[in-house]
């Protein structure tokens, strides 16, 4: 954005809404991971793939 540009321009509205959307998704993922970790009693980060050798 240049000097004197309006922060309510369509471009800024898109950027702000995109930032809020990504923040919402991030919060939802963090909450879901936290619930998974506490409910099962397993670590929050676990992969489903197991290497079979």
DSSP, residue by residue, the chain:
--TT--TTSHHHHHHHHHHHHHHHHHHHHHHHHHHHHHHHSS-S---S-----
Report the pLDDT value the prediction gives residue 16, as an integer from 0 to 100.
Answer: 93
Instruction: Provide the pLDDT for residue 4.
Output: 73
pTM (two decimals): 0.53
User: What is the per-residue pLDDT across 1-53, written as a single tens digit (0 to 9) for each?
Assistant: 567 767 788 888 999 999 999 999 999 999 998 888 876 555 555 556 656 65
Q: What is the pLDDT of residue 39?
A: 61
Predicted local distance difference test score (pLDDT) of residue 2: 67
Q: Which pLDDT score, from 0 to 100, does residue 41 have?
A: 54
């Amino acid at each position: 954005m240049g000097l004197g540009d309006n922060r309510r321009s369509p471009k800024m509205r898109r950027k702000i809404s995109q930032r809020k959307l990504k923040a919402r998704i991030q919060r939802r993922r963090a909450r879901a991971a936290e619930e998974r970790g506490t409910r099962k009693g397993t670590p929050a980060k676990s992969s489903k793939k197991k290497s079979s050798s």
